[in-house]
Amino acid sequence: GENVEQHPSTLSVQEGDSAVIKCTYSDSASNYFPWYKQELGKRPQLIIDIRSNVGEKKDQRIAVTLNKTAKHFSLHITETQPEDSAVYFCAASISGGVGGGSQGNLIFGKGTKLSVKP
């Protein structure tokens, strides 16, 4: 089955700097890659996603890149702010797979705790 590795497990940056979180996946059939942000004591929330027919996607200060050949994808946050401090999870799935609706059964990485220091 799919396996998702996420690095680093913790990341500390100064406000205004960029942050990059990287994930690798094992199943070449995976074609849907979302990123979730979880603030302390809250539910995980989708912040951006990318599908395998796209190499990069941006949404304001957040971008995700995908390299299907190398089977890795990354989250880039520019001009970080204290409110970006949270745990970020990457995930991968086979869209349309059995039981999974449009995004399949998501397999998550173990998370990255991002701390943005003022």
What amino acid occupies position 107?
I
Residue 85 sits in the site that holds another protein (CB under 8 A): no
d(CA 65, CA 59) in angstroms, rounded, equals 12
- C-alpha to C-alpha distance for 24 and 116, rounded to whole angstroms: 24
Binding mask 34-73 for another protein (x = CB under 8 A): x-------xxxxx--x-x----------------------
Scanning 14-22, 59-67, 68-76, 88-96 for contacts with another protein by CB under 8 A, the matching segment is 88-96
State the nearest-atom distance from the C-beta of 40 to another protein, in Å: 12
CA-CA distance, 91 to 25, in Å (whole number)?
9
Residues paired with 75 in a beta bridge: 21, 64
Q: Which of 77, 69, 60 shows the shortest CA–CA distance to 22?
A: 77
User: Which region among 54-62, 66-74, 77-85, 89-97 touches another protein (by CB under 8 A)?
Assistant: 89-97
What is the distance between the alpha carbons of residues 63 and 51, in angstroms, rounded to a whole number? 13
Among 52, 78, 95, 115, indicate the residue that binds another protein (CB under 8 A): 95
What residues make contact with another protein under the rule CB under 8 A? 1, 6, 34, 42-46, 49, 51, 89, 91, 95, 98-103, 105-111
